[in-house]
Amino acid sequence: MGKTIFEMKHVTKRFSGVVALRDVSFSVNESEIHAICGENGAGKSTLMKVLSGTYNNKEYEGEIWMNGKKQEFVSVADAKECGIEMVYQELNMLLDASVAENVFVGNLPGRGFINWKKLYADTQEILDEIGMDFSPKSRIRTLNSGQMQMLSIMRALVRNPKIIVLDEPTTALSNKEVDILFKFLEKLRANGVSCLFITHKLEEIFRICDRITVMRDGYVISTDEVKNYTNDLLVEQMIGRKIENMYPAARGHGEETVLRVEELSVPNPTNIRRNLIEKISFELKKGEILGIGGLVGAGRSEILGVLFGQITENAQKQIYIEGKAVQITCPRDAIRKGFGFITEERKISGFVGTFSVLHNLSLVALKRLPYKHLFLNHKTEKKEAGSVFERLRIKAPSMETPIINLSGGNQQKVVLGKWLMKGPRILLMDEPTKGVDVGSKAEIYNIMRELTGKGISIIMVSSDMPELVSMSDRCIVISGGRITGEFMGNDITQDNIMRAAIAAV
């Protein structure tokens, strides 16, 4: 184990009487990858904002030491000057600038005038190293979210940091991109760079990290080497209780076909001569969870977008609900036919950030709530929303709390609760536990099984392989625009799914 290069000593951070960090102390060693684990709301983000200088030294109690010297960060620039770089989960890219300009922003080569030749050459070297096959001159808006995430990490590394902080770095990455990232992190570790690694994906922690610091309710619960933790111990320390069964068993489903989709095609936004999805057909049974697997970019999310009426231009499909042909040309049609849709990006299309928890819960159920003289009956609204609020165990001071103030896991519960108030027959779920902590994941999985037990059918797109394998009653895999595999029961395995996912690549 290398020498200690960074320490936090007895850090406490308060927000209007709420204590977010409670006497937190931990250290980072040279040449280590150190995981920071905890549920949403445990204090991880606040800790990273203290470390990165987002909160100045007058806004918290305690001390920060770097290489044996006490530091007083007044700004993010001070932390950067000490060699600390932060890569946030939310991407911050200049969409209309080039790849090269984004990677070297604030650090462009040349004196007075930009040395474009060197800029493009240096960027090409980085792209070659991380296996990216686009040009340094490409506009950022032409890239997918995984490529942008990789570039945001590279942007931090060109400043030669001593410590790089990665907040959920693999959320938008494909398996191949994760492998590339981890090889790069191993190279950095060998060169003396340390990394603080925040993720909800426990398998990644055991794969790449050297030590773990576990947080809960603003406290540091433990810090130890990875080899001294098991998956169960880590989960128990994070949530303060044991989870006996992360993935509840299927209760079985009927043979009644609720949804039949025929000849569904999705246009390719970058190639008008070829469809992203080409004339696929599938069925959904009553009370069934149908998983959709495949590589990132295979068109899984687009399938849900077509079913919900979000993607209509040049899309083709024949949809039958309980044997009757239906026309869905917009989301309103889909909702009327009994669809609900939990989208992948909840902050973009899952909730209204300026609304309270109450108003987000009742958002799609307004038409079925009672009115009096054109005014909504707020008493009934609060009663019905309150029932869902309690049922989902949403952690918030009250239903009047702005949803933007909630943790990611609780925001996702509100998005789910919004559709429960409406009462869908078919629930479309795109990455249902993306960015959600392990405790909230278990609760969401139990809710999904409760819904299927009541006859509600679910179509779930997931890149989380344990989730896809364990929660699917049946799983279809998309590759090359078509269905390359369909599995049931014990045949739903990671190996089977991955073989089918690369079948047409």
4-239, superfamily in CATH? Answer: P-loop containing nucleotide triphosphate hydrolases (3.40.50.300)
* pLDDT tier at 1, thresholds 50, 70, 90: low
- C-alpha radius of gyration, the chain, whole number: 24
Lowest mean pLDDT, pick from 183-187, 219-223, 373-377: 373-377
C-beta contacts of 466-472 below 8 A and 24+ residues apart: 466/203, 466/247, 467/247, 467/432, 467/433, 467/441, 468/291, 468/293, 468/492, 468/497, 469/493, 469/494, 469/497, 470/246, 470/247, 471/247, 471/289, 471/291, 471/445, 472/289, 472/290, 472/291
**Cβ pair 132, 176 in contact under 8 A:** no
- Does residue 13 contact residue 20 with C-beta atoms inside 8 Å? yes
Average pLDDT over residues 425-448: 89
pLDDT for the residue numbered 372: 63
**What contacts 298, CB < 8 A, 6 or more positions away?**
478, 479, 501
Q: Each residue of 111-170: pLDDT tens digit?
A: 878 889 999 999 998 888 877 888 899 998 888 777 888 888 888 888 888 999 998 888
Helix (H, G, I), strand (E, B) or coil at 88: coil
Confidence band (pLDDT; 50, 70, 90) for 385? confident
* Contact present, 204 and 195 (Cβ < 8 Å): no
The correct CATH number of 257-338+424-501 out of 3.40.50.300, 3.20.130.10, 3.40.30.10, 3.40.120.10 is: 3.40.50.300
* Ranges of each domain in the chain: 4-239, 257-338+424-501
* 208-224 residue pLDDT tens: 999 999 999 899 999 99
Q: What is the pLDDT of residue 373?
A: 57
